Amino acid sequence: MNSYRIKNRDDYDRHYRRGREDAKNFWAEIAENFEWMERWEKTQSGSLTNVDVKWFEGAKLNITVNCLDRHLKTRGEKTALIHEPSDPNGAVARYTYRELHHSVCKAAHMLQAIGVQKGDRVCLSMGMVPELLITMLACARIGAIHSVALAGLESKSLADRISDAGCTVLVTGDGAFQGDKIIPLKDIADEALKNCPSVKKVIVHRRGNCHVSMEEGRDLWWHEIFDGMPQEFDPRGMEAEDPLFILYTSGSTGRPKGILHTCAGYMVWTAYTFDNIFQMQRDDIYWCAIDIGWITGHSYMVYGPLLNGASLVMYEGALEYPDRGRLWEVVDKYRVTHLYGAPAIVRAVMAHGAEATKKYDLRTLKVMGSVRNPIAQKAWLWYCENVDKEKCRILDTWWQTETGAAMLVSFTSITEQQHTFEGRPLPGVYPVLLDERGKTVTGNNVSGNFCIERAWPGMARSIYGDHRRFEQTYFKPYPGHYFTGDNYYRNELGLFKIKGRADDIINVAGNRLGTIELENIINQSEWVVESAVVGFPHEDKGQGIYVYIVAKGVEEEEKLVDQIKATLEEQIGIFARPDKVQLVSALPKTRSGKITHRILRAIAEGNPGSLGDMSALLNPNVVEEIRKAVISS
């Protein structure tokens, strides 16, 4: 066990205090747990005010040494990675730490052989195959900067990302499985590359057995180079603040932001948080059911688990393929102890009924971690009742692409948790709630804009190629603070609960309502599977409330609509009575299960022209369906 694991409540309080009062020694002691090629001179320098934060300056390291090499002596034969294919009858791939180490070294040689060097940007557009994880680590081993694009982005979005980062190499596949479909990755790449002169070489990993065209001199098959490569590769010594990766996230202007993370701070932060959140034992099995193309996949599928020497499951396909029981089948098959995903997982199964969970043995599950959306009370309680009666260890975690790893956690055993609260800050995270004018909101049972007042090791350092935008977006609103963009509520126990994005607040005749707060109330109805609330311009009230609902088993839709309106009015006030409630068959979502309020807002505003890029959606068809229903109503 690592020396930095928090054992109980007293420990938590002590660590939390020390992280603030004696930050230098606190983080130095944590950093001692890693392998460094050269030790740091300064634990932390720079400031949030100047937006020039640095951690472990002067140190040299390679994160892959910490993910792989240092485990070889003690757990070389331990399973590092189990790959469950999309096809339930397909071949499962397994890697021990030693085998993974060999594969990463071979891939590093492969990249080097085609000219990749330290600092080069490499774009990865692959399905959920082991080679994606291996290529990420191979880049890190060389010191190249990986930029993972979600499989299935349309070619223009892929081209934008490649050009913004000036990538010189693209690693892709012939196709990626998604349910019963195959995403034609190489065709999409070919189209994108017409506008990306920076890319000199393309490596294509064969997986879907799709027919692809290969461009002479540019395109190479993975297996033709990889197979003959040596199994050892000297890791490149990286400066602490050298970039590790870029990950694009959507920005309010529609132009994606390339969030930049650096080597040392990100390593220490992801490892520290992963260990403390999941508190895994040596033989536990961890599964992160979220695509690697999101930050969750980067930090808690690749780096966090491997830095801690855990055994992880990676699943290739769609979670409901070939049926809704697949999630639980995989848990059963590998005796998963720790499952991490979006709350949509719980809701989706709930919509289907408890049957799916009864068919499988879920007794190994100790922890069900959740991220990206609030867990509605109903789903939380349903899970306790149907999945894990005795232990009921739901673990909510709040964080962002920009924070590198989790910040708020509803610890299961260390401190108290409360349904629907994301929890408390981890040691090292010092949040404050600020009002519109930047004044600190003190006391209990209060809300405000959620900011962080101290630098933490895993924070993003910049937006690639646009440091000014980084400053403007996150540090200008409240000088000296990092502004998360979220609006939060804090109760008398010091637990935090999200109310919505600061820009998701609906202001109805001066009453500020958090959309998430409203959704939670709506979701209590036994007929509601899930809901989304957005604001739209209203002549009299400033903003009106628009509710989208996915319902099940309702006979009289009108009755449900009336009931929802009445409930909100009763529970919050007359101003919370929605102006419009629309029943829909599904809500538009990203592939990680996040409801895209942006799109629903554009429809509610009668502004479908500004729907923007929909290529990262799981179900783009539903948008058209909702829009048509609005027009005809």
- Of 84-92, 346-354, 440-448, 478-486, the segment contacting ligand WTA by CB under 6 A is 478-486
Question: Does the footprint of ligand WTA cover residue 373 (CB under 6 A)?
Answer: yes
Question: Does the footprint of ligand WTA cover residue 397 (CB under 6 A)?
Answer: yes
Q: What's the closest the beta carbon of residue 58 comes to ligand WTA, in angstroms? A: 30
Q: Give the C-alpha separation, 342 to 596, whole Å.
A: 14
64 or 401: CB nearest ligand WTA: 401
Q: What's the closest the beta carbon of residue 118 comes to ligand WTA, in angstroms? A: 27
Question: Does the footprint of ligand WTA cover residue 347 (CB under 6 A)?
Answer: no
Q: What's the closest the beta carbon of residue 250 comes to ligand WTA, in angstroms? A: 9
Question: Does the footprint of ligand WTA cover residue 407 (CB under 6 A)?
Answer: no
374 or 427: CB nearest ligand WTA: 374
Are 331 and 360 contacting, i.e. CB atoms less than 8 angstroms apart? yes
Helix (H) / strand (E) element for 131: namely helix 130-142
Relative to beta strand 121-125, strand 169-173 is parallel
Question: Does the footprint of ligand WTA cover residue 486 (CB under 6 A)?
Answer: yes
Question: Does the footprint of ligand WTA cover residue 422 (CB under 6 A)?
Answer: yes
Q: Give the C-alpha separation, 131 to 146, whole Å.
A: 13
Interface residue with ligand WTA among 145, 295, 508, 532 (CB under 6 A) is: 295
447 or 582: CB nearest ligand WTA: 447
Q: Which residue, judged by CB position, is nearest to ligand WTA in the bound state? A: 401
* DSSP code for 593: S
Token code pair at residue 120: 């080069």
Question: Does the footprint of ligand WTA cover residue 106 (CB under 6 A)?
Answer: no
Q: What's the closest the beta carbon of residue 286 comes to ligand WTA, in angstroms? A: 17
The distance between the two most distant Cα atoms of the chain, rounded to a whole number of Å, is 71
Among residue numbers 116 through 175, which ones bind ligand WTA (CB under 6 A)?
Answer: none
Question: Does the footprint of ligand WTA cover residue 374 (CB under 6 A)?
Answer: yes
Q: Give the C-alpha separation, 88 to 78, whole Å.
A: 24
Q: What's the closest the beta carbon of residue 370 comes to ligand WTA, in angstroms? A: 6
392 or 630: CB nearest ligand WTA: 392
| The dihedral sign for the CA sequence 139, 140, 141, 142 | positive
Q: What's the closest the beta carbon of residue 143 comes to ligand WTA, in angstroms? A: 25
Token code pair at residue 408: 């708020």
Among residue numbers 177 through 196, which ones bind ligand WTA (CB under 6 A)?
Answer: none
Question: Does the footprint of ligand WTA cover residue 396 (CB under 6 A)?
Answer: yes
Question: Does the footprint of ligand WTA cover residue 249 (CB under 6 A)?
Answer: yes
Are 348 and 586 contacting, i.e. CB atoms less than 8 angstroms apart? no
Q: Give the C-alpha separation, 509 to 544, whole Å.
A: 9
Show the beta-strand stretches assigned E in 263-366: 285-288, 311-315, 338-341
Q: Number of residues interacting with ligand WTA: please give it, by CB under 6 A.
A: 20
Burial class (CB in 10 A: 0-12, 13-18, 19+), 347: buried
Among residue numbers 496 through 525, which ones bind ligand WTA (CB under 6 A)?
Answer: 498, 501
Neighbours of 18 (CB within 10 A): 16
Question: Does the footprint of ligand WTA cover residue 398 (CB under 6 A)?
Answer: yes
Relative to beta strand 394-398, strand 367-370 is parallel
Question: Does the footprint of ligand WTA cover residue 401 (CB under 6 A)?
Answer: yes
Interface residue with ligand WTA among 144, 192, 371, 434 (CB under 6 A) is: 371
What would the DSSP string read from start to end of 75-99? HTTSEEEEEE-SSTTSPPEEEEHHH
Cβ-based neighbours of 530, under 8 Å, separated by 6 or more: 344, 347, 376, 523, 549, 550, 587, 595
Interface residue with ligand WTA among 60, 236, 372, 481 (CB under 6 A) is: 372
Q: What's the closest the beta carbon of residue 394 comes to ligand WTA, in angstroms? A: 11
| Interface with ligand WTA (CB under 6 A) | 249, 294-296, 371-374, 396-401, 422, 484-486, 498, 501
